[in-house]
Amino acid sequence: MYYIKSLTTTLIASTVFCTFSAATLASESPSYRFIDLGTLGGSESAALDINDQGVIVGWSTRDNNMGCTSPVSKPMNCEYAFIYQNGAMIDLGHSQDAVQSSHAVAINNHSVAVGYEILRGVNDDTNMGDSYHRPVRFEQGAPQTLPVLSNKPLDSAMAVDINDQGKIIGWADNQSGQDTLVSWQSDAISAEAPHNTYYRRATGLNNLGDVVGFEYEAWSYKPNRAFIYKHGQVSVIDEREGVMSEMNAINDYGMIAGSKMVRAMTPLKATIWYPSMLGGVAEHVVGGLQQTSREESAFNDINRSGTAVGFSSSSDTIQATVYYRGKLYDLNRLVSAPGWLQTAEAVNERGDIVGIYVNKDNQRRAFLLEAQ
């Protein structure tokens, strides 16, 4: 059973939930100013996180020379992690020439960012080229490789989040090739909650050290199962057979953003989990913009006010969304943009949102929505 940090946290989170539920009809829609963050010289970019000072991280291309190789062995433009502050996008580069892509995916309020690099190697079984990931921390304008559990060829690891205390979480292949929940502190890696059967990956971390993620059985065709990890214990949220769930972010009040199936073999629906006064968490399945059974949706992030951001997808379109004071909005209807906002990736405590939109040339671009 998952228990929250304290009764005070429970009451605060419950109050927030009740306030937002009651305000569904009374709330005014949020207002934003749209900003295209540009690129490092190429045609595409993506904004993946923003801290409370408005510093943004993500990736961008430098040119259109197709000088790198994608994970599916196709030519692609090389991607470079960036940090965006004071109106300028700064190139964070690659740690070595063999890197095909580097992505900065999370940043804390001390402007320390983490992410991963994608490299190419040779698969000993097939004697063909293959891709693998290495975790990095971006500090002082450059990527620094983090330690891993296994240095075998093509074994992977990724850093996915960092809190204000400098704790980093992610996942890494162990010596047996099993995805393992890991943390990094002071440049040391630690395996957390290893399991004989389940592969585990972390996806989010708060300032209390609580971790969310998902687990799965390799080669079983069973769906992912969301979990909360705290005080050394893993608590799976929904253990029903065939029901997929994923948690993507947890705020300091214990509210969690993600997605889940309402029942087996149905599309994922955007979901928020709130701490319960009875212990554990209570789920609120928000769903998508159209509220249809075939629509897929998810929340990628949530701030302490309970504002969650993500996407809603139907058969012919994908739309960036914000859940604000109990109501789900299509961000495309709240701003005027030179293209289509597809995914909202992160929201800070001020309510500023970053993500990815597709411009009129069908190119992915990083955007910022400044809360007004």
Sorted by where each begins, the domain ranges of the chain are 32-371
pLDDT tens digits, one per residue of 338-354? 999 999 999 999 999 99
In sequence order, what are the beta bridge partners of 113? 107, 138
pLDDT tens digits, one per residue of 169-219? 999 999 999 999 999 998 899 999 999 999 999 999 999 999 999 999 988
Instruction: Bin 341: left if φ > 0, else alpha if -120 < ψ < 50, else beta.
Output: beta
Measure the CA–CA gap between 56 and 47, rounded to whole angstroms. 7
Which of 257, 310, 317 has the alpha carbon at shortest distance from 292?
A: 317
Query: Do 178 and 171 form a contact (C-beta atoms < 8 A)?
Result: no
The strand order across the sheet containing 32-36 reads: 32-36, 364-371, 353-359, 339-347
pLDDT bucket at 76, cuts 50 / 70 / 90: very high
Measure the CA–CA gap between 61 and 90, rounded to whole angstroms. 12
Let me know if domain 32-371 sits in CATH 2.130.10.120: yes
Q: What is the pLDDT of residue 122?
A: 60
**Mean pLDDT value across residues 361-366:** 97
